[in-house]
């Protein structure tokens, strides 16, 4: 009788299938020791012997010290999405606050993946990297929120994220007005962090503009862009030269820059509030 192979594998099973992990670990350690042999030193640091930690102890630790959930699941390459998919639990991996049953399920899930021992400073350093990455992404999201808030603060129509359909396919605008009914103004907000992003992001903007004008041919479509290379802005404008795009605006990190460009768009779209027009 042949063993039945599941159609879909869990995250833990996918991790277990990865080959060459032990070999790569040895190669990396040897390479680092050789490359920096004049600077290698040894010191005593605290280790946790996870080989002796039971699933029950791990679950209790999750309950009493929820702050350790994120660093420990990170050590075994598990994120919130994998937990949601494999365990059917949607949890905040940073805040934790698990119920006893959830803690037991999570502990049983990651226990087989934990190495026998890990240095506490290594766990802490790994957690720091992921925490910083999370905060950086959050700040980028906050910038996009400032764009939307700036539009709403100076417009006579309210903006919000909206979706529209073209041939059964859904597209999303980062800011659109009005908030219900036919869209009069659509804005695609894009952060381009590197020069190599230009072509891919430009194609995305042009494609969305084309689809937007098919549904709302008389409406306005704008590209609102963060691209920290001012000398390359003209190249981006040329790349985005398309009859479906009514304007291309570049904003920097500061709130004043974001507000200024938002007001330029509103002015072009004749949406500036009466108080702004009077200034």
90 within some domain: yes
Whether residues 78 and 29 fall in one domain:
yes
47 band by pLDDT with thresholds 50, 70 and 90: very high
* pLDDT (average), residues 144-165: 95
Whether residues 260 and 192 fall in one domain:
yes
- Give the pLDDT confidence of 17-45 residue by residue, as tens digits: 778 877 887 888 888 888 888 888 888 88
Whether residues 66 and 156 fall in one domain:
no
CATH classification of the domain holding 167 = 3.40.1350
Whether residues 187 and 266 fall in one domain:
yes
Question: CA angle, corner 194, sides to 150 and 198, nearest 5?
Answer: 80
Whether residues 151 and 208 fall in one domain:
yes
Most confident of 42-46, 172-176, 192-196: 172-176
Whether residues 212 and 258 fall in one domain:
yes
128 within some domain: no
1 within some domain: no
The two three-digit tokens of residue 160, written as one number: 């919000």
pLDDT at 93 over 60: yes
Number of compact structural domains in the chain:
2
Look at residues 82, 115, 148 and tell me which one is the last residue of a structural domain: 115
Whether residues 252 and 160 fall in one domain:
yes
* pLDDT (average), residues 84-92: 89
Whether residues 144 and 265 fall in one domain:
yes
pLDDT at 30: 86
Look at residues 115, 148, 178 and tell me which one is the last residue of a structural domain: 115
- Nearest of 134, 74, 64 to residue 97 by alpha carbon: 64
pTM over 0.75: no
The two three-digit tokens of residue 180, written as one number: 């219900």
3 within some domain: no
| Cα 199 to chain centroid, rounded | 21
* pLDDT (average), residues 186-200: 92
Burial class (CB in 10 A: 0-12, 13-18, 19+), 167: exposed
pLDDT at 277: 55
275 band by pLDDT with thresholds 50, 70 and 90: low
Domain hosting 75: range is 12-115
């Amino acid at each position: 009788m042949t063993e039945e192979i599941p159609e879909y594998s869990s995250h833990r099973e996918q991790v277990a299938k990865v080959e060459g992990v032990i070999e790569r670990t040895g190669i990396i350690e040897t390479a680092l020791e050789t490359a920096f042999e004049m600077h290698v030193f040894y010191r005593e640091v605290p280790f946790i012997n996870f080989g002796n930690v039971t699933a029950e102890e791990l679950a209790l630790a999750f309950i009493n010290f929820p702050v350790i959930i994120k660093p420990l699941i990170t050590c075994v390459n598990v994120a919130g999405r994998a937990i949601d998919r494999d365990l059917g639990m949607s949890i905040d991996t940073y805040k934790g606050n698990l119920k006893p049953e959830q803690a037991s399920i999570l502990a049983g899930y990651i226990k087989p993946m934990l190495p026998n021992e890990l240095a506490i400073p290594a766990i802490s350093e790994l957690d720091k990297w992921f925490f910083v990455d999370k905060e950086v992404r959050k700040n980028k999201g906050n910038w996009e929120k400032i764009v939307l808030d700036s539009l709403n603060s100076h417009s006579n129509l309210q903006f919000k994220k909206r979706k529209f359909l073209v041939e059964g396919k859904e597209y999303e605008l980062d800011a659109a007005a009005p908030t219900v009914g036919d869209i009069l103004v659509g804005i695609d907000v894009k952060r381009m962090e590197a020069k190599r992003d230009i072509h891919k992001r430009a194609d995305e903007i042009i494609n969305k503009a084309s689809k937007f004008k098919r549904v709302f041919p008389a409406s306005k479509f704008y590209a609102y862009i963060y691209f920290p290379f001012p000398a390359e802005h003209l190249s981006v404008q040329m790349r985005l030269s398309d009859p479906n795009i009514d304007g291309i605006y570049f904003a920097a990190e500061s709130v004043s820059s974001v507000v200024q460009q938002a007001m330029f768009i509103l002015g072009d779209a004749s949406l500036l509030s009466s108080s702004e027009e009077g200034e």
